[in-house]
A and B are shown apart, each in its own frame.
With several copies, the nearest count.
Chain A
């Protein structure tokens, strides 16, 4: 269903649409702010109307009509089935094993899907001090599976993280089990170039899908390690008119006055 709109699809839009598609219906989803929240709400407003969104501010089942700028906008509370204290959202709901999917971003990712959102450079003398962990380490550990959304570049797809904030598959297969993490870890990593999935054996992130107009070579160039490419590499279906229209409408609500 390629359309006239397709030519104008931005890299962020492509990422967001693909991330939304990764959410199946009736999924209980713990969402971070930014692209994860946009993608999860896009899914809810298109093919997955019964997807349940939880935000770390304690809102359960939020159905925002406008995109929140922060994780705790009033809209999230007003449209929620329940609002609980922050200690409870982490203890009873995330740690309690009630979350099917966690949606995370990061500044850096390595080939085993581990994430850095803490610092670039030395911890005590950082080149860039990033916001830090937030809810990510426990979402990465406890959610049934994790969807990662991250722009792909040699600075973000690194051979070695400057800081390990959230565990993907650790340093070797079996690390999650050894660390007592009940979730399956990052099952899909969505970038502006394509989609990576962990190899069933080695857990190494492997390019399995590439967006229209992107070459495998450019994906390799924008990866800080020798990128493995699946033999069954497929091309991403471009966003449909419906997806794009809904996404753009959603994003416009972020700018509009209340």
Chain B
């Protein structure tokens, strides 16, 4: 049974320095509130895992939470670079950041393998690319025992903590997600511990088209965090703040303006711009 906790309690209890942590949400339901709480609690030396690091990891990397990033596409969607990520990779600021990079298909297969309690996932991918030269620990050729054909194995991902945002939970901790569901289910099931932030806790989860339910006994902690995916979006609650994604390009380009913004909007409050 999931514990219903306050977000600061959930992070304090479940996220530790040095952990591998995946905050997922494929452009939708990105757990910004949880990421900000991790920044406020000054976690360090995290291995951050996420297909699309997005602004939340730009902020966490710029705040010095991470020593390693496992990812597949690290840009500001439709806008350009993630400047804090680039500054960490290009200039070791504020601390050096080790990269482990994959393709989307590879990351998705790694999560699915983790959720399936398999040591590896299989796909047709990576062949012929230079990604292979930087991923010997996590990507390998594997031969089909029936046809002899060579395909690609990717190491399963089993993060210490998986964190996602969702629209709703009921009072027992059952979680409901609809719209783009991304890898939300996979990451909760693949992780040793999990936190789900939700827009609201309700008496009953009425069935909805396209909705999935994560039963309470498969979830670690549920924390209410209204607007907790902002500036990304929560289908049925609020839209993506495309303007903020565009403004972030300017805010994050410069170390000082980034730090000012973080001081004002993250370190001193529980909200986001």
Measured CB to CB, the residues of A under 8 A from B are: 26, 28, 33-34, 52, 56-61, 68-74, 76-77, 81-83, 85-87, 90-92, 94-98, 118, 123, 125-138, 141-142, 163-167, 170, 175, 179-181, 258
Residues facing A in B75-91 (CB within 8 A) are 75, 77-79, 81-82, 85-86, 89-90
* CB <8 Å contact, A134 and B117: no
Q: Which residue of A lies closest to B97 (CB)?
A: A129
Q: How far is the CA of A94 from the CA of B214 in the complex (A)?
A: 15
Which residue of the partner chain, among A58, A123, A137, contacts B129 with CB atoms under 8 Å?
A137
The reply on B180 being an interface residue by CB < 8 A is yes
Q: Is the CB of B117 within 8 A of A135?
A: no
Is B111 an interface residue, CB under 8 A from the partner? yes
B90 vs chain A, min Cβ distance (A): 6
Q: What is the bound-complex CA distance between A175 and B127, given in angstroms?
A: 11
Chain A residues closer than 8 Å to B126, beta-carbon distance? 137
Residues of B contacting A123 in the complex (Cβ-Cβ under 8 angstroms) = 130, 134
How many angstroms between the C-alpha atoms of A92 and B191 in the bound complex?
12
B245 touches A (CB below 8 Å): yes
Q: Is B103 an interface residue (CB 8 A)?
A: yes
Q: Do B103 and A133 have beta carbons less than 8 Å apart?
A: yes
At the interface, yes or no: B189 with Cβ under 8 Å from chain A? yes
Q: Given A81-B215, A95-B117, A96-B115, A167–B235 Cβ distance below 8 Å? A: no
Chain B: residues with CB nearer than 8 A to chain A? Answer: 1, 26-28, 51-52, 71-75, 77-79, 81-82, 85-86, 89-90, 101-105, 108-109, 111-112, 115-118, 123-131, 134, 149-151, 174, 179-183, 185-186, 189, 210, 212-215, 217-218, 233, 235, 239-240, 242, 245
On whether the beta carbons of A82 and B213 are closer than 8 Å, the reply is yes
CA distance A5 to B108 in the complex (A): 45
CA distance A142 to B215 in the complex (A): 19
Q: Contact check, A134 vs B73: say whether CB atoms are below 8 A apart.
A: yes
Contact, CB under 8 Å: B127 / A74: no
B242 touches A96 (CB 8 A): no
List the A side residues contacting B210 at CB < 8 Å. 77, 83
**Which of A61, A97, A133, A141 has the largest number of chain B CB atoms within 10 A?**
A133
Q: Which of A58, A68, A87, A131 contacts B74 (CB 8 A)?
A: A131
CA distance A73 to B125 in the complex (A): 26
Question: 18 A-B residue contacts at CB 8 Å?
Answer: A33-B78, A58-B180, A70-B77, A71-B27, A73-B233, A82-B215, A85-B182, A85-B186, A90-B105, A91-B108, A91-B112, A95-B105, A118-B131, A130-B81, A131-B81, A164-B128, A165-B130, A181-B127
Q: Please state if A166 and B179 are interface contacts (CB–CB under 8 Å).
A: no
Bound: A92/B126 CA distance, A: 17
Cα(A76)–Cα(B233), bound, Å: 13
**In the complex, what's the smallest C-beta–C-beta distance from A79 to chain B, in angstroms?**
12
Which single member of A81, A125, A130, A165 contacts B131 (CB below 8 Å)?
A165
A52 touches B182 (CB 8 A): no
User: Is there an interface contact between B129 and A165, defined as CB atoms closer than 8 Å?
Assistant: yes
B182 adjacent to A167 (CB under 8 Å): no
B131 near A133 with CB under 8 A, answer: yes
In the complex the two chains form, is B103's CB within 8 Å of A137's CB? yes
Q: Is the CB of B215 within 8 A of A60?
A: yes
Q: How far is the CA of A68 from the CA of B239 in the complex (A)?
A: 12
What are the residues of chain B within 8 A of A69 when measuring CB–CB?
77-79, 240, 242, 245
Contact of A83 among B108, B115, B125, B179 (CB under 8 A): B179
Contacts of A258 in B (CB 8 A): 239
Nearest Cβ in chain B — how far from A91, in angstroms? Answer: 4
Return chain B residues, CB-CB under 8 Å to A118: 101, 130-131
Do residues B182 and A164 form an inter-chain contact, with CB atoms below 8 A?
no
Q: Which residue of A lies closest to B79 (CB)?
A: A69
Given contacts A92-B116, A133-B102, 11 further A-B contacts (CB under 8 A): A68-B78, A86-B104, A91-B109, A95-B118, A118-B101, A118-B130, A123-B130, A135-B73, A136-B103, A141-B127, A170-B128
Instruction: Indicate which residue in A26, A129, A180 contacts B89 across the interface (CB closer than 8 Å).
Output: A129
Given A86-B108, A87-B186: A129 and B86 interface contact (C-beta under 8 Å): yes
Q: Is B117 in contact with A97, judged by CB distance below 8 angstroms?
A: yes
In the complex the two chains form, what is the Cα distance from A241 to B109 in whole Å?
45
A91–B151 Cα distance when bound, in Å, is 13
10 interchain residue pairs of minimum CB distance: A72-B27, A131-B75, A134-B73, A70-B77, A69-B78, A167-B128, A90-B105, A87-B108, A82-B213, A91-B116
